[in-house]
Structure 1
Amino acid sequence: MIDRIMTNLIVLYILVILAMIVTGSESSNTRDAEINRLMKKLNKPFLKSIKSPDGDIIDCVHMKNHPIYDHPLFKNHTIQMRPTSYPEGWSNKDSDNEKHNMVPQLWTINGKCPKNSIPIRRTRKEDILRAKSIERFGKKDPNNIHQHKRPTNPTNDGVHEYAILKVEVNSPRAMFYGTQTFINVWKPYVQHTKEFSLAQIWMSAGSYSTQLETIEAGWQVLTALYNDTNPRYFVYWTNDSYIQHGCYNTICPGFVVVNQAFALGAAVPEVSIRDGLQYEIFTSIWKDRSSGNWWLRFGTHVIVGYWPSLLFNRLRIGATEVEWGGEIVNLKENNQHTSTQMGSGSFAINGYRKASYFRNIFVTDENNITRQPVGPSTFVSEESCYDIRYRTEQAWGSFFYYGGPGRSPFCN
């Protein structure tokens, strides 16, 4: 009797294991199929493929296959190739000042995209596998607390920490229609693959609890997305508080790239050195008063593309808040603060060639007039880990130093 019971138990155990293997196999097959569908959607047919010295593959995609056409609102969209208006006093021509012009991206050493095509960084299967889920690939987590308050119930996605300067409208009819600034570029240490460190501009309208809308641009180190530790150009947008809609670069349809020599997600070719040469990106975002679209320019002459106004409800009218500064994600591994650096990894008090900075900060108001921000305020989420110091002077106008090393004897 005992032998028979043992035999039956063994048979039952084997059947359970086999069922688990079959179920797991089916689940794996389903996941592989979903990944393949996403890769096919993201990696458009290309006219030419260029291998970058840093390992990136850049596909030159014809404008007729532009990712924007995957968005249901833009099936019949007419792509605007150039802005039709600029804020008062802004140049609409290529700059003769070589100091502020952009260094060509590394991939352009090995070729250039043909006419009527745009460069798109190829997505690989391993890129998607590094994401928390297929659905969240290329997206910021919803706990990206834009109102900059420490969450009372942080999730496994980590805590977002900031050192920022911000300015808000001072009357119900006031709006912001643009901003421009120089963003200092560094290569901060990032402790965990799923953490990041970035420097960026935010232009926003609404609130986190009532459908926050943002457009964002700058540089970031994010290994989970790019599989390396290089600072990379990026854009982002959301129209629902980061919950479902919006993404980095062109991972979902939204931002309309028009430049055939500039790939979003490509590495910034030159970074600053402590006590040495400093590199910076002149970054401009503005609302085209004719089309309503929000345009982005890196450098004084590289017009990258635009966020169509139809993506938004509030930003279709204008922005009510502008922010500049740094952000990191802190996963608190082993219940310790991350050692991920912000900016250069040095505190603001260390100043030029040590701390990271934003300089010559301007905003464009509802009258299309560009001026220094009035009544800006600073915010730091964890002052013992990262900080910010804002000042004004003749040469740099409105500027600030910011950043920090993360975990230390004072930051734990």
Structure 2
Amino acid sequence: MRLLLIFAILSCLYNEAYGKVSLDIDMKLKTLNKPALKTIKSEDGDIIDCIDVYKQHAFDHPALRDHKIQMKPSVEFGTKKTTNPNNGTSEQITSQIWSKSGNCPTGTIPVRRVSREDISRASSPSHFGRKTPHVYRFLDQHKANFNLTSAENKPRPKDRSEAILLALGFNYVGAQSDINVWNPPRVQPHDYSSAQIWLLSGLSDKLESIEAGWVVNPGVFGDSRTRLFTYWTKDSYATTGCINLLCSGFVQTSTKYALGAAIEPVSSTSHKQYYITISMFLDPNSGNWWLHCGNNVIGYWPGKLFSYLQHSATAVQWGGEVYSVNVRKKPHTRTSMGSGAFASNRYAEACFHTNIRIKDYSLQIKYPQYLSQYADEYNCYSTRLSRRTYKSEPFFFFGGPGQNLRCP
């Protein structure tokens, strides 16, 4: 009888806890999956819902309840790119897999449908699509006379490893690069691996960041495909922001690109290289930060979301990031960054950023004057900034295999 009583009590507690989690997932699904005016089944298994642009999740944010949507930027980032940076051996990606199966009508935006299984993989529904807290303390101490030592001395996050090129100390109102697209091997189920641009401002636990590029994230998407992504936070990832449209905030205006949808084709060793062009810039008239992919406007982060980033960014990063609870540990995670090859392998083997540009208050698009490069774990993921000739466009190579003989 005692055993039956204990079993009954435990069953009640379990059912109560499970029931609450299930209810939380149901509420999350209802919030994220808005009613669709059209549904597209992609050949890769994704379901894309065409959502009324005025009823998207962004407007659930308290700061955006009375927000008037801006359908296009009042100014353009502009361009200052080499016309043929890779001698004809690379090609820009201008579409996604789902678009082969249909398109969204005018007045709607394509949104990747979230499943119950997607949310169930997260530690809790409220943490779905969010990074763990991460403080960039070196921004507290930056001065105009930035040097490499100040970056190398920054505290290292316990669960993220970065390999980056860094511009620090000025008022940046835009950044751009061509990001080489790969499908990094061995990304573990609870890890992610990205290649991206960050625009940063703020201090310590009030860091503000907007980010974009490509990512492989099995925990969010349930597979190892390479996908287009964005991210934002205004408090060092503690309680605000998320990937793509998984929380209110980012306002999408594009009918062509779906955030979180797969990117193809991807680069392969010693063959043609594929890239996406990512541009982020501040609209001086609206205060919104716009995101472009190639020549296509994706949408914007409203200035109302931020404090420091309402005016400018004080740091720009280009590079890659690996998240794992097993970075800086033995055994190290096997999750790779970029192509999975070290930066020293260079073109057609290592991942790269090229056509690296910033825009500052001069409103001129330029190659950054002062740059530093570093890697949190150089024996696991490395960096190399180089030119083929002294006149050619610089390439920033980065990445690595993760666990290897030098990174046990």
TM norm. shorter chain > 0.5: yes
Please, which of 110, 121, 126 is the counterpart of residue 119 of structure 1?
A: 110
Contact 2:93 2:275 (8 Å CA) reproduced: no
1:30 equivalent in alignment to 2:20: yes
- 1:278-319 alpha-carbon deviations (Å, 9 max, x no partner): 0011111111111111111111x1110011111100000100
Specify the code of the residue in structure 1 equivalent to 2:380.
C
Please, which of 180, 189, 194 is the counterpart of residue 193 of structure 1?
A: 189
Contact 1:360 1:396 (8 Å CA) reproduced: no
- 1:49-82 alpha-carbon deviations (Å, 9 max, x no partner): 1100000000000123121210111112111111
Per the TM alignment, residue 87 of structure 1 is displaced from its structure 2 partner at its CA by 4.1
CA distance in 1, matches of 2:205, 2:405: 39
1:395 and 1:358, CA in 2 relative to 1: closer, same or farther beyond 3 A?
farther
Please, which of 258, 265, 282 is the counterpart of residue 263 of structure 1?
A: 258
Query: Hey, what does 2:133 align to over in structure 1?
Result: 142
CA distance in 1, matches of 2:102, 2:78: 37
Answer with 1 or 2: which has the greater Rg.
Answer: 1
Per the TM alignment, residue 89 of structure 1 is displaced from its structure 2 partner at its CA by 5.5
Contact 1:190 1:221 (8 Å CA) reproduced: no
Identify the range of structure 1 (329-338 vs 54-63) with the bigger mean alpha-carbon deviation: 329-338
- 1:143-200 alpha-carbon deviations (Å, 9 max, x no partner): 476755334xx4xxxx21111000112xxxx410001111001110234211111100
1:89 and 1:355, CA in 2 relative to 1: closer, same or farther beyond 3 A?
closer
Please, which of 230, 240, 245 is the counterpart of residue 245 of structure 1?
A: 240
CA distance in 2, matches of 1:395, 1:58: 44
Query: Hey, what does 1:94 align to over in structure 2?
Result: none
Query: Hey, what does 1:168 align to over in structure 2?
Result: 168
Please, which of 304, 322, 329 is the counterpart of residue 323 of structure 2?
A: 329
Alignment of 1:240-389 (within 5 A): 240-299=235-294, 301-332=295-326, 335-389=330-384
Per the TM alignment, residue 396 of structure 1 is displaced from its structure 2 partner at its CA by 4.8
TM-score (norm 1): 0.89
Partner-residue secondary structure (3-state), 2:379? coil
Partner-residue secondary structure (3-state), 2:220? helix
CA distance in 2, matches of 1:45, 1:146: 42
Count of aligned pairs: 384
Q: Unpaired segments of 5 or more residues in structure 2?
A: 82-87, 139-153
Query: Hey, what does 1:7 align to over in structure 2?
Result: none
Query: Hey, what does 1:229 align to over in structure 2?
Result: 224
Identify the range of structure 1 (387-396 vs 255-264) with the bigger mean alpha-carbon deviation: 387-396
Contact 2:187 2:224 (8 Å CA) reproduced: no
Stretches (4+) displaced over 6 A: none
TM-score (norm 2): 0.90
Please, which of 167, 175, 178 is the counterpart of residue 179 of structure 1?
A: 175
Alignment of 1:82-161 (within 5 A): 82-87=72-77, 102-143=93-134, 149-151=155-157, 154=158, 159-161=159-161
CA distance in 2, matches of 1:89, 1:183: 15
Per the TM alignment, residue 112 of structure 1 is displaced from its structure 2 partner at its CA by 1.0
- 1:22-47 alpha-carbon deviations (Å, 9 max, x no partner): 11111111111110011000000110
1:90 and 1:379, CA in 2 relative to 1: closer, same or farther beyond 3 A?
closer
Contact 2:91 2:274 (8 Å CA) reproduced: no
